[in-house]
Amino acid sequence: MFAGSEAARRDWSLHLVHACSLRQNRILEAAAGLVRPGGTLAYSTCTFNPLENEAVIARFLVDHPQFRLRADDRPPGCSAGRQDWLERELAIPEIEYTTRIWPHLTPGDGIS
């Protein structure tokens, strides 16, 4: 969004990132209650910020041991989630099963 929106660049702040992360935690928590036993919960964002990606997923997995990440094949131009971008208490090995989609390595504009 930064490339096409002066307002997005102007309004960005660390406070906004933390607020978005908290919102993502609440959304994921609510969605988890809708998953039937043996079902799948997909989580995706349109940001590269680890506070909204790996940290949200790691926190969720710590709080919900009945859920686990699937180790699926990644499409070309994608990479594993970054455990080294997390705070120590959230640096779980399974985070490598998450997928980051890089716009400079895949066709399109991010995931849009």
pLDDT at position 25 is 95
Q: Is residue 11 part of a domain?
A: yes
Mean pLDDT of the chain: 88
Closest CA to 86 of 21, 16, 13, 27: 21
46 among known catalytic residues: yes
Closest CA to 89 of 60, 66, 58: 58
Number of domains in the chain: 1
Residue 51 CA to residue 47 CA, distance in Å, equals 10
pLDDT tens digits, one per residue of 23-58: 999 999 999 999 999 999 999 988 888 999 999 999
Q: How far is CA 69 from CA 7, 22, 37, 41, 86, in A?
A: 35, 21, 15, 9, 17
pLDDT at position 112 is 46
Write the DSSP symbol of residue 90.
Answer: G
pLDDT greater than 60 at residue 111: no
CA dihedral of residues 10, 12, 13, 17 (deg, nearest 10): 170
Q: Is residue 111 part of a domain?
A: no
Q: Is residue 112 part of a domain?
A: no
Q: Determine which one of 31, 46, 71, 111 is catalytic.
A: 46
Q: Is residue 43 part of a domain?
A: yes
Beta-carbon-side half-sphere exposure of residue 98 (alpha carbons within 13 Å) = 24
Domain that holds residue 84: 6-101
SS3 of residue 101 by DSSP: strand
Q: Is residue 110 part of a domain?
A: no
Q: Is residue 87 part of a domain?
A: yes
